[in-house]
A and B are shown apart, each in its own frame.
Chain A
Amino acid sequence: MPQVAQTVMAADPLEAVAWRWSILRDFAGAARSRCRRDKSRDVVVQQVARLSASASARTNGQLNIAVLTHLIGVAALFTGADLRVMRTGALTLLLLLVSVAALAQFDGRRSPFGRRMHTNPAATAGTPQAEFNFTRLIYSGNSMDDMGRGFGGWGSWRTDWPEAEQHLIQGIRRLTLVETADDGQIVQLFDDALFDFPMLYAVEVGRMELSQAEADRLREYLLRGGFLMVDDFHGSLQWRNFDLQMRRVFPDREIVEIDEADEVMHVMFDLNKKMQIAGIFALQFGVTFEQDGVTPHWRGIYDDDGRLMVAINFNMDLGDAWEHADWPEYPEPMTAMAYRFGVNYLIYAMTH
């Protein structure tokens, strides 16, 4: 899909909105017919509201025009409503969200939709309080990244935070004997505490851009025995960028497909590599892939002793599967498989 690839590269957020809108239109017919066949209008409206709430929570109550436009567009297309009516509704919703977001500044703990809000996630990582602390890597982003512009101004590294780890942590506690901290940690490559957390999670790494110093630091971390799981990036363009970043880290190591027989696929659960664990937006369009990332890939970078150092979930979004584990609409088999992958990666990282 070359058109998609070109649009993704757009640096201007407005262009990105236009791209998303065109995608929506392409899928509109099929989606509308599916909606009419499977769901009532009320269900779709509820779903849109839930998506809005999620978007707001993801941005700490700050408004994101692109997301909102998406949601309204989806609602319009699925319900067949007149777009002029929807625009009016959108404006009203926009004003409402702005007001709530302003109010949220006075009460940082609660979102306008009753969800728990969190303090600044960029706070320095503290002393490990348990054996395993889910640790999200803060990285520098490239032009595709939302850093300082959209998505709340936090950057793509923050995607799915904090629900993804909150849910996964519960899963780890339920399924394993790993002593796991209540909350996730976040850490930057040059934090002193980096080496106190031997496993890192990095998301949306198609937008990651590492300086050579950061790449050197990451290489040192991995060779000392650290483990990195990357997730939620899709399509050839994002792959190209990620591959470039990894070549800065390991110029002499290849990224390879993880073999079905590899221990990471069996260390706790026997995993199914064929299942593509989709992001929520792809599912909204009735597909499991984003951009041209049709085929799921479980890839990795190994050390000299054959131990996996970097686990690469490409064309996959485990973070969404964890985050939306409590959504009835999110396919349970995908969530279950995402949990199993997360647990396997963790047990592998703690044993190899």
Chain B
Amino acid sequence: MFEFLFKYPATAFATGDVVPVSVNAFTLILIALALFAVLGASWWRSRALMPVQKLTVVAVLQGLVLVVLLAMLAQPLLELERLSPADNAVLVMLDTSRSMALSDDGQNTRLTQATAAVTPVLARLGDDYLVKLNRFAADVGALASIEDIPPPADGSALLGGIKSLLESERQTAIGALIVVSDGADTDNQATNAAIAEIARYGIPVHTIGVGAEVVPEDIELAAVDLPQTAPPGIELSGTVAVRSSLAGPAVIKVYDDDAILSTRDVVLTGNGVTQRFEISVPTGREGLRALRVSIEGQQLERNEINNERRHVISISDRQQKVLYVEGEPRWEYKFIRRAIGPDQGVEFHTLLQTSTNNWYRQGITDDSQLRDGLPATTEELFDYDAIIIGSQAATGFSTAQLDALKRYVSERGGSLMLLGGREGLADGNWEGTPVADVLPVFLPLTDAPTFVREMVKVRPTTAGLRTPWLQFADDDTTNQARWAALPAIADHQVVGTAKPGATVLLEIDQPGQAAPLLVTQRYGRGQVFVLGTGGTWRWQMQMPLEDQSHELFWQRFMQELLRPVPGRISFSTEKTWYADEPRIAVNARVLDKQFKPLDAAVVDVNVVDESGARQQVTLRRVAGSPGEFNGEVDSGANGMLRMDFAARETPAAEVVDGSLFVAHDSGRREFFAAAQNRGLLQQIADATGGRYWSLDAVEDLPAALAFSDAGITRREQLPLWNMPLMFLLLLGLTASQWLLRRHWGYL
């Protein structure tokens, strides 16, 4: 339609400049004045023949006709660069990865559909340009002809392939690059930075999307979200994301080898919707758990490979330690303790000031712990993975302790949570302390009490509804209903306004008075939460015994507090299951006992895969990131990969070591997220000045491709006065004023 109205494709207008007037402007103005003078005189003379209002309408329409005529007389031009035929090459990248062998209609593979649509286009392009045909999967290679396509291969190095091809053809005059693909990028390089890097080559990339955007008759286990480490003997909570085009019942199963650890019946809604489901997995004894998580539906599927994912958990008896300091006896303290319970694998130390001279300790394993009240030394404080401070005034801490709390978050990477209370937050004079810097809120500056004993309901914000650990149910409707059904909390506190970058997860549900209640932000290496109440205990006392909302809230909150907390030496990989990825990036962070970065450390990784093949890698120091080290190891043979890390400050110093396990599989990645990733293809095209094409519109590609300022071009001036749009306007306006006059009876 665009090209019909404007004579040239949109790409031409996008790349070119419109010159509105190409004739002598003075002459044009004189003509315009003359024409409008005639029009004015005509209007004046006709006043007696027609009411003024109607006459004015007709005159305006006639004036618009004159404007269009003048625009045509101005002879506008479109100045642009057009590829010079025969001087340029057009690169073509055809996706030959395994996902292109999938069939969306049950008859033809994606590759077959793509070649059928693209072949005539390539033939037309060959008339004007040198067409260089390439295929890509895990790497890029030249293709002799479109009939000479190799068998499907593992991997889809989409971004990496484009970059590699453009780099290798730097010496060639390239008019455009055409990518025929389903948009899968198994190298995980689809970042904004990678796309921007491609755009810097200045070559328009036209992307041709292949494959259905919702894979028909398919259920896919899209993601498994479980921790990498956990203590033994607990029920571990996690989430599973399932994307399905099939509706109906299905079962999520978690296996440890062949033993089923847990199952969950679910109902899939279909239509390609991604649903998240909570799962609970018993961690069992200490050791390594190579879990298989699967979704098993009752319907026939075309692709069952994507129904299963692996996840590796190291079960370690190293219990994470949490300190909860409470400045006065209150029910919230009791019910938090009950909710966390002894079964959560957390060493939960609580320190409660019962009277002016008494601190009451609970959960300690050694009588020397917290004997003198609040931790006095940095080392003692930093030994905790998370710290909760209840209704405790800042004046209860020394300046050194407040400084240490700030460093605890920023340097040690601990999680800190402040609760509301009579002596909490603003009422506890936390504003102005070093801890206020790390809080996700600006505490209110007021002498009036901000803590109120008033029962109010709580509701999750939009961000809260998207936060997995705040979900009480799998589907949004039930989840919101569960939140709405919770009783009011016993009290609340004005926490202040959220800082830029902070996220409000819960708010007080009062008409016209919604106020933040649970706010979080990262600060330095740590995470900080503010929960402006000491009254969630009503969720326990006011709900039936069998309701677990209160317990779930606090248990998941505790898992969230502990989830990102690193130890002194931490090793990590991006994930625990690698499919079709030849290299695995590993990271290490090494701190001394004061949790200060230890740059001088030497960090070695010894890797052994299931075939017994070994490799040793010394990690590199990351410039500008003290204490950080990284490197890459080969993913090796299929199966488990054990990585033993050893870090030492000096050759003679104590070695701190640890192990990580990941799983590696080949030939599976292509079957996950197999729907056409149109968003990525569109983004690449937009960023580079190209255009996204669907297979049924691809015949227009050669015409659009010509308007490019890449390669060898020639400057052209294309007339615009004769655009069909101009004539249609002339016709329409003239006809309108004529029809109006006829309708009013003046013809």
Q: List the interface of chain A (C-beta within 8 A of B).
A: 127-132, 175-179, 195-196, 198, 220, 223-226, 267-268, 305, 346-347, 349-352
Contacts of B540 in A (CB 8 A): 224-225
**CB of B184 within 8 Å of the partner chain:** no
6 A-B pairs with the lowest CB-CB distances in the bound complex, closest first: A195-B541, A350-B329, A177-B328, A131-B330, A178-B329, A176-B355
Chain B contacts of A225 at CB under 8 A?
334-335, 338, 537, 540-541
Q: How far is the CA of A225 from the CA of B540 in the complex (A)?
A: 8
A196 to B489, CA, bound (A): 10
Residues in A with CB closer than 8 Å to B356 are 177
CA distance A220 to B540 in the complex (A): 11
The verdict on A130 contacting B453 (CB below 8 Å), with A179-B422, A224-B545 known, is yes
Residue of A nearest to B341 (CB): A305
Beta-carbon contact of B331 and A223 below 8 Å:
no
Is B334 within 8 A of A350, CB to CB?
yes
Q: Tell me the bound Cα distance from A330 to B541 in angstroms.
A: 38
Which residue of B335, B538, B544 is within 8 Å of A196 (Cβ)?
B538
B541 lies within 8 A of A347 (CB): no
Give the residues in chain B near A223, CB-CB below 8 Å: 545
Q: A224-B543, A350-B333 are in contact. List 5 more A-B contacts (CB 8 A).
A: A178-B328, A196-B490, A224-B545, A268-B358, A268-B360
B334 interface neighbour in A129, A179, A352, Cβ under 8 Å: A352
Name the residue of chain B whose CB is nearest to the CB of A222.
Answer: B545
* Interface flag for B119 (CB, 8 Å): no
Which residues from chain B contact A267 at a C-beta distance below 8 Å?
354, 360
Per-position 1/0 for B82-98, Cβ under 8 A of A: 00000000000000000
Cβ of B352: which chain A residues have Cβ within 8 Å of it? 351
A220–B329 Cα distance when bound, in Å, is 24
Q: Which chain B residues (105-162) contact chain A, with CB distance < 8 Å?
A: none
| Cα A132 to Cα B540 with chains together (Å) | 17
14 contacts between A and B (CB under 8 A): A129-B453, A175-B355, A177-B327, A196-B490, A196-B538, A196-B541, A226-B541, A267-B360, A347-B354, A349-B334, A350-B334, A351-B337, A351-B352, A351-B360
**B541 cross-chain contacts in A, Cβ below 8 A:** 195-196, 198, 224-226
A195, B324: Cα distance in complex, Å: 25
Q: Which residues from A are CB-within-8-Å of B490?
A: 128, 196
Among B329, B455, B544, point to the contact of A127 (Cβ < 8 A). Answer: B455
Question: How many Å from the CB of A219 to the closest CB on chain B?
Answer: 9
- Chain B contacts for A175, CB-based, 8 A: 355
Chain B neighbourhood of A347, CB < 8 A:
329, 354, 360
Contact of A350 among B327, B331, B358, B538 (CB under 8 A): B331
- Per the bound structure, the CA–CA distance linking A100 and B28 in Å amounts to 114
Q: How far is the CA of A349 from the CA of B331 in the complex (A)?
A: 8
The docked-state distance in angstroms from the alpha carbon of A198 to that of B490 is 12
With contacts A268-B354, A351-B337 taken as known, whether A176 is within 8 angstroms of B329 at the C-beta atoms is yes
Q: How many angstroms between the C-alpha atoms of A68 and B338 in the bound complex?
A: 49
Across the interface, name the chain A residue whose C-beta is closest to B339: A225
Q: How far is the CA of A127 from the CA of B330 in the complex (A)?
A: 16
Q: Is B736 an interface residue (CB 8 A)?
A: no
User: Which residues of the partner chain A approach B333 to less than 8 Å between Cβ atoms?
Assistant: 350-351
Closest-CB distance, A178 to chain B (whole angstroms): 5
Known: A177-B327, A178-B328. A351 touches B538 (CB 8 A): no
- By a CB distance below 8 angstroms, the chain A residues around B189 are none
Interface core residue of A179, A195, A196, A224 (most chain B CB under 10 Å): A224
Binary contact track B310-349/A, C-beta < 8 Å → 1, others 0:
0000000000000000011111011101100110000000
Q: How far is the CA of A53 from the CA of B44 in the complex (A)?
A: 111
Residue from A176, A177, A195, A351 in contact with B542 in the complex, judged by beta carbons closer than 8 Å: A195
**Which of A131, A196, A198 has the most chain B CB within a 10 Å cutoff?**
A131
